[in-house]
Amino acid sequence: MDAATVPALHDAVLRWYDDHARELPWRGTAASPWSVMVSELMLQQTPVARVLPVHAAWLERWPTPAALAEESTGEAVRMWGRLGYPRRALRLHAAAVAIVARHDGEVPTSYDDLLALPGVGDYTASAIASFAFGQRHVVLDTNVRRVLARTVSGVEFPATAVTRAERDVATSVLPDDEATAATWAVATMELGALVCTARQPSCDACPVADLCAWRGAGFPAYDGPPRRGQAWAGTDRQCRGRIMALARETASSIGAAQVEAAWPQAEQRERCLAGLEADGLLTQVTPGRWALPG
């Protein structure tokens, strides 16, 4: 995409976002930086519809980082519920503790300070700085990467991991004005979530269809490395999920017989129990009994 076309791209996407943005509790001037941070950790690999009720319950119970930091890690895991990837709850708790210790309980505003928090990587730091504080950063989640791959680079899907070339493309189309850049980040994310989807893009409803390099090239099929699916049945992820659900729903500790009933395959069950202990998600309180961490 040549530089002369970029302003038209900005205008079309931003106007579309003005008309089609979903009202979400972590968006808008009323959302606290903590609300934004919690949403970013919860939304990783998890659909908005599943996050909404958990986000609301989390903010009601822990409206500030300090409130969460005072609780045990086990309570954070329990409140995480069935969102999946519960290590994110541990990371969010650790980040809350660090925010209290280093930043007087306030989510830091700078990218570098955010990046230094436990469990916060480049994407999360950029997203919080952009969405909570209106700063200019390249924010590359799955949806944004797909939108830019198609509209600017002319390919169906981006590489399996962010490349330097991909980051350069994203930087080249990032608006110069901070506030506009922050809106651009969330607008391209929304476009990827609602219109330029992975399986069935709605090109007829796309505000930049006439500018899209992938459409202009005749929709060439993806020819990169195989894209991984989301297998679930019979996997260690399913086994771990069953065990964690049992632990969350039990007031005290769970015993070996309960775990065996939840997952009969002994070798896989023992492997997953060991993994959950190693990840800090379960604690063996006595031989053959486990509980959420204290």
Residue for token pair 């651009």: 184
Q: Is the dihedral of CA 104, 108, 113, 115 positive or negative?
A: positive
| 3-class SS of residue 101 | helix
Q: Please give the angle made by the CA atoms of 186, 189 and 192, to the nearest 5 degrees.
A: 150
Eight-class DSSP state of 132:
H
Two tokens at 102? Answer: 């280093």
From 40, 75, 166, 190, the catalytic residue: 40
Which amino acid is it at 132?
A
3-class SS at 290? strand
CA angle 90, 86, 235 (to 5 degrees): 145
Contact (CB, 8 A) for 69 and 99: yes
CB hemisphere CA count around 227 (13 angstroms): 12
The helix-helix angle for 122-133 and 33-42 (nearest 10°) equals 140
- Residue 283: beta bridge partners? 291
* DSSP category for residue 4: G
Based on the residue annotation, tell me whether 40 is a catalytic residue of this protein: yes
Nearest to 170 by CA among 195, 144, 192: 144
φ/ψ region of 176 (left if φ > 0, alpha if ψ in -120 to 50, else beta) reads alpha
Q: Scan for tokens 């409140």, then name that residue.
A: 79
Facing residues of 254 across strands? 290
Which amino acid is residue 173, in one-letter code? Answer: V
Residues with active-site annotation: 40
